[in-house]
Amino acid sequence: MEALRLNPGDDLRATLEAGGRTGFVIAGLGSLGHAELRFAGAAGPTHVDGPLEILTLSGSLTPAGVHLHASVSDASGRVLGGHVCAGCTVRTTAELLIAPLPPGSLSREWDEATGYAELVVRRA
C-alpha cells in the first residue's frame, strides 16, 4: 500500500494522472475548494461550489488514464457524488491510500459498446 497526500491548490485528478501509477485508489478523504463531477448519464461535468468535504474517493489508475468516483458534502451537509473530472481543487488536504499493481497489469482501451476508454486487466 502507498499513502499519498495532496496539498492545497492541487488538482485531484491531474495529480493522479501525472503519477503514471498502476493500481487502485482504495480510500480518500480531505477537502476541496470546489469540484467538477459528472453525474450518471450526464454528457459533461457539473461545477459544485465549495468548500466541500471528500467523504469517499475510489478508482483505478493506469498510465493511460484514471477513473475516479467521489462523494462530497457541502457546508449544509448535502451529499453529491459522481465521476471526478479535472478541476477538483484541494482546499486543505487530500489523503489517499493506493494499492499499487505491477506495471502493465492494467490499461485502458476504447470500447465501442460504451463509448469510453475502459479498463483492461492483464493477468500475469
100: domain CATH number?
A: 3.30.1330.80
Q: Are 61 and 101 in contact (CB under 8 A)?
A: no
Report the predicted TM-score, pTM, of the whole model to 2 decimal places.
Answer: 0.91
Number of independent structural domains in the chain: 1
Sign of the dihedral defined by the CA atoms of residues 105, 106, 109, 114, in that order: positive
Q: Say what percent of the chain tops pLDDT 70.
A: 99
Structural domain for 85, as ranges? 2-121
Q: What is the pLDDT of residues 18-67, one digit of tens each?
A: 988 999 999 999 999 999 999 998 999 999 999 999 999 999 999 999 99
d(C-alpha 75, C-alpha 77), whole Å: 6
How confident is the model at residue 124, as a pLDDT? 62
Residue with cell 493500481: 23
| Residue-averaged pLDDT of the chain | 96
Give the phi and the psi of residue 75 in degrees, each rounded to 5: -65, -20
Q: Are 38 and 45 in contact (CB under 8 A)?
A: yes
How confident is the model at residue 19, as a pLDDT? 82
